[in-house]
Amino acid sequence: MPLVLGIESTAHTFGVGIASEKGEILANVNSVYRPIAGGIKPSEAAEHHSRVAPVVLRRALEAAGVSLDSIDAIAVALGPGLGPCLRVGATLARYLASLLGKPLVPVNHAVAHIEIARLSTGLKDPVVVYVAGGNTVITTFVEGRYRVFGETLDIALGNLMDTFAREVGLGFPGVPKVEELAARGKNLIPLPYSVKGQDVSYSGLLTAALRLYREKRYSLEDLCYSLVETAYSMLVEVAERALAHTGKSEVVLTGGVARSPVLSDKLAKMARARGARFAAVDPELAGDNGAMIAYTGALAYASGLTIPVEESRVRPLWRLDEVEVPWRRQTSAAIT
Amino acid sequence: MAEADVCRDYLDLLERIAGLEASRVIGVGAEALLIEGYLGGLHVVAKYRVPKVYRAEQLDAHLRRFRTALEAKLLGRAAAAGVNVPHVIYVDAEEGLLVLTYIEGERMKELLQSGCEDAEKLAGEIGYMVGVLHNEGIIHGDLTTSNIIVQGGRPYIIDFGLGFFSHRTEDAGVDLHLFKRALESTHPSLVEGIFSRFIEGYRSARGSVAEEVLRKVEEIRMRGRYVAQRRRKLFW
């Protein structure tokens, strides 16, 4: 059974995972950079990653109980993400691949979130709702790739919630704190509900919510409740459009915001009303992590996807729908 | 499946609200249920925006009311401008219900696929109608050959569910761009002939403004609105 070591460093998390193509996860060690104040500073996050990299790597090998020699390939998330952060992971991956003479496997971070969710939930061919600090995408597999059916036109859902929480003094991470207050809110305040065809737009919602907060006309509980209701309903609506359009019968939630019980509940209700199945990724694997890169790298490696070290430039703007997904073609052929 | 039961519940409801005699469920979309039937002897299609259990009741009620009323206004304004669209027979925005005249005929999509002699003439008429809509500040939002029905040799534009009012050149440009994209994906071999006649008709309705919109269409295409422009915004 070939083992792949995967490295994640696209944003605030530096992680190393070890996994096989069959979905055995032998190690998943992660270290998250926390800014003292404000949002992520790419250069500081990159410094954090370089500092913790050797320790995280060693702990992952210890957890898996394997030596570097028994690893068959090195996978790395080359994008999308923050350039300085990506370079830390890529540098370590190139070094290990060169040192050990093992193949290097390029992994798209978004594809990894999808694959780990399919593994974790057992759903075969779902409409995927991928929500995190930097991403909000509705996607599903069509003809060899994950096609984007809808996405945010400006900021991501996680970014909306984190920024709001920070500005009103709730701290990081934003989603659980805002949801906690939202549970005590009762009155729905009208906020911009911006669904444009298949896409959503969150920046106007953030501006409006912050303006209302500063005007102090409403309780923070009611404001959080209205923000959560509006932002999540927009997302579920476009997910439902994708489900109706593609005729698929499964919905999966993945990414850092997948830990939200409120969002899960809304998606589950939508899916039930349409006779579809719903599941969210295991909370342990929801945020950025090394295991998802290792597992997706193992799938790619089994399909013969490798990259020469000299071509392994980082790809900060690497779009999900540019990535060929050859292992899905094989699985769907095997099923039919 | 449970869906059939759900549909029956809705049909009962529609009969209660509007006195509609339903004969057939045409489709279950993401947002609405489409039902063919009769209302006071008139052949109609009812579009029922289904309440969504995942949304807070107040938000759900607002969205269904707002969207149903907007769609009715768009259709009313379009009809008054002389564009061939279904006529609004009955609106109950509170219930999310819109009843329209049933347009009998074949969809432009199937007509083109089966090889239609009048295709280019029809394209000219459609272009003219879209031009009139844009003159009125009506953006359709989902112009595809599935949303054009040919009845007795005349094209009708249907489904204003994604429509809105705007006089911006950008919005008109996106409308035309989406129509061209739809032609390219569904009828690749016919694009040139159909789209040039469509533009001819559009020009005759809009006059000199048309050139501005067409420049915008080219700009939207060149900047790769659906790839390059967004990718800068999506990831950080």
Give pLDDT, residue B25: 86
What are the φ/ψ torsions at residue A57 (nearest 5 degrees)?
Answer: -60, -45
**Rg of the Cα trace of chain B?**
19
Asked about B142 being catalytic, the answer comes back as yes
Please list, in sequence order, all residues whose beta carbon lies within 8 angstroms of the beta carbon of residue B218, skipping any fewer than 6 positions away.
none
Tell me which residue of A100, A137, A89 sits closest to A289, measured CA to CA.
A89
B56 at interface of A, judged by CB pairs closer than 8 A: yes
Tell me if A47 sits within 8 A of A14, measured CB to CB: no
B chain contacts of residue A157, beta-carbon cutoff 8 Å: none
Residue with tokens 């500081």: A44
Do B227 and A229 count as a contact with CB atoms less than 8 A apart?
no
Residue with tokens 């850092």: A256
Give pLDDT, residue A210: 98
Digitized pLDDT (tens) for each residue of chain A, 336 residues in all: 899 999 999 999 999 999 999 999 999 999 999 988 778 899 999 999 999 999 999 999 999 999 999 999 999 999 999 999 999 999 999 999 999 999 999 999 999 999 999 999 999 999 999 999 889 999 999 888 998 888 888 899 999 999 999 999 998 889 999 999 999 999 999 999 998 878 899 999 999 999 999 999 999 999 999 999 999 999 999 999 999 888 899 999 999 999 999 999 999 999 999 999 999 999 999 999 999 999 999 999 999 999 999 999 999 999 898 899 999 974 443 332
Do A229 and B59 count as a contact with CB atoms less than 8 A apart?
yes
Tell me if B236 sits within 8 A of A82, measured CB to CB: yes
Do B59 and A82 count as a contact with CB atoms less than 8 A apart?
no
Digitized pLDDT (tens) for each residue of chain B, 236 residues in all: 455 566 677 777 777 777 888 778 888 888 999 999 999 889 999 999 999 999 999 999 999 999 999 999 999 999 999 999 999 999 999 999 999 999 999 999 899 888 878 899 999 999 999 999 999 999 999 898 999 999 999 999 999 998 999 999 999 998 998 899 888 888 888 888 999 999 999 999 999 999 999 999 988 777 553 444 444 444 43
Q: What's the rounded Cα separation, in Å, for the pair A18 and A297?
A: 10
Give pLDDT, residue B230: 47
Give Cα A148 distance to the centre of its chain.
Answer: 15
Give pLDDT, residue B3: 55
Which residue from A minimizes the CA distance to B55?
A233
Of the candidates B60, B92, B142, B171, the residue annotated as catalytic is: B142
Give pLDDT, residue B11: 74
Which residue from B minimizes the CA distance to A265?
B54
At the topology level of CATH, where does A3-113+286-335 sit? Nucleotidyltransferase; domain 5 (3.30.420)
Do B58 and A153 count as a contact with CB atoms less than 8 A apart?
no
Q: What are the structural domains, with CATH classification, of chain B? A: 2-101 (3.30.200.20), 106-234 (1.10.510.10)
Q: What's the rounded Cα separation, in Å, for the pair B156 and B178?
A: 18
| Digit-coded pLDDT (tens) for B37-81 | 999 889 999 999 999 999 999 999 999 999 999 999 999 999 999
How close B148 gets to chain A, by Cα (Å)?
19
Question: Among A154, A267, A317, whose Cβ lies nearest the Cβ of B231?
Answer: A317
Q: What's the rounded Cα separation, in Å, for the pair B119 and B112?
A: 7
Give me the residues of B, 160-199, that contact A with CB < 8 A: 162
Beta bridge mates, B39: B42
Where exactly are the structural domains of chain A? 3-113+286-335, 120-285
Q: Which CATH architecture does the domain made up of A120-285 adopt?
A: 2-Layer Sandwich (3.30)
Fold agreement (A3-113+286-335, A120-285): yes
Task: Please give the ipTM for the structure prediction.
Answer: 0.86
